[in-house]
Amino acid sequence: MRSTLLLLPLIPAAVATRPFLNEPDTGIEDVLGSTPAGSLPDLERIVGLPDFEWAARRYMNASSYTYYRNGAAGEWSYRNNLEVYGRFRFRPRMLVDVTNIESTLPTSILGHNFSAPFYISPCARGGLAHENAERNFVKAAYEEDILYIPSLYASLSVDDIAAAKPSNGSQVLFQQVYLTDNDTETQQLFDHVKELGSKAIVFTVDSAADGNRHRASRYGVGSADSSFTYITWDYYKKLQSMTSLPVILKGIQSVEDVKLAVQHKVPAVILSNHGGRQLDSTPSPLEVALEIHQEAPELFDQIEIYADGGIRYGADVLKLLALGVRAVGLGRPFMFANTYGVEGVKRAIQLLKHEIAIDAGNLGVADLKKIDASYVKWTNNGWFS
């Protein structure tokens, strides 16, 4: 009985964290709650990435917001993507000179240099949030010098997105694709995106079947890819022969598949569960990265590994980088920021850059390239499990 009573004070604290599914309570409702529905608060009053979702939920119509927000089935994977980062505690180091940390943010992704270790992930239908749609991502990514990976199911065509790039030809974009069993169409698509200047193809492999999206179905905004798709390693080998562009695999969720990717000479993989939108009970990218670190850490040296899913804070980015992930992608936060247009997307990028730098400084990391797993206690304390 005594041991049970000792645990009782901990129960309310754990339960109290459970209600939110979107963003935590950081006072935004108290300060900005009077913002009329259908309008946006002043952009300078947005202080973190979760604020953009709060603002977008009040501004967008229900079906458009749901298209961005929905997850698979009971949305446990969606929720886990958000909460998993809080399960692991930092191990900060003191008395370290961190005054030059900002200069260490620049990152190389497949040989292309960018100003920060994160990118805009492929997400469909940017036009639901703003009339300029994906043009805002292209411009913001260029001005802030980060990578943007357009979705094949963007509101704009691949031609329109390419046309939004600066005329000097300096901007690097990768192109995400879904593929059919029509090899002629695939070859034409590969040739066309290369002609438009894409520097890599990102092939999404975690949606071989339709997503089981209950929330989306209620609003009639289900998956854009609704057929069973033939995706095998032999098929990937054929894709490699159809283009000189590197073909990245997006949606890898196990250490076994990363090992196979190395065997099949894949240049890079993205650890992702499709934002928790395809199959419920899939692992978060952080859990997959931890599995790789624990079972086959050498893989981080054998192949470039990126990750996306649930990242909302600079601290989240640091935990992935600490395991060996080279760069991280964010989708929903930028989609919601796009309600403000290009300036909103730019502010989201700037906020995350700043958070990464100050969080790394408080963690005692002098050089972001030298962060490693020793900066985090990787024992799961059981919270939010």
Nearest to 159 by CA among 193, 125, 190: 193
Distance CA 96, CA 365 (A): 7
Q: Is 308 labelled a binding residue?
A: yes
The answer to whether 274 is annotated as binding is: yes
Does the annotation flag 178 for ligand binding?
yes
Residue 30 DSSP symbol: H
The reply to whether 124 sits in an annotated binding site is yes
Catalytic residue among 192, 274, 293, 354: 274
**Phi-psi group of 265: left, alpha or beta (phi > 0 → left; psi -120 to 50 → alpha; rest → beta):** left
The answer to whether 67 is a known ligand-binding residue is yes
337 is in an annotated binding site: no
Question: What 3-state class would DSSP assign to 36?
Answer: coil
Q: Is 139 annotated as a binding residue?
A: no
Structural contact between residues 124 and 204, judged by C-beta atoms closer than 8 angstroms? no
230 is in an annotated binding site: no
* 122 labeled part of a ligand binding site: yes
Helix (H) or strand (E) holding 290: helix 285-295
Is 326 annotated to bind a ligand? Reply is no
Closest of 231, 122, 131 to residue 174, by C-alpha: 122
**Known catalytic residue at 192:** no
Asked if residue 332 belongs to a known ligand binding site, the reply is yes
- Sign (positive/negative) of CA torsion 349, 291, 246, 227? negative
Question: Is 175 annotated to bind ligand?
Answer: no
Nearest to 247 by CA among 200, 177, 299: 200
Q: How crowded is residue 281: how many other Cβ atoms within 10 Å of its Cβ? A: 12
Q: Which residues are annotated as a binding site?
A: 67, 122-124, 151, 176, 178, 204, 213, 250, 272, 274, 277, 308-312, 331-332
Q: Which residues are annotated as a binding site for FMN?
A: 122-124, 151, 176, 204, 250, 272, 308-312, 331-332
Q: Which residues are catalytic?
A: 274
Q: Which residues are annotated as a binding site for glyoxylate?
A: 67, 178, 213, 274, 277
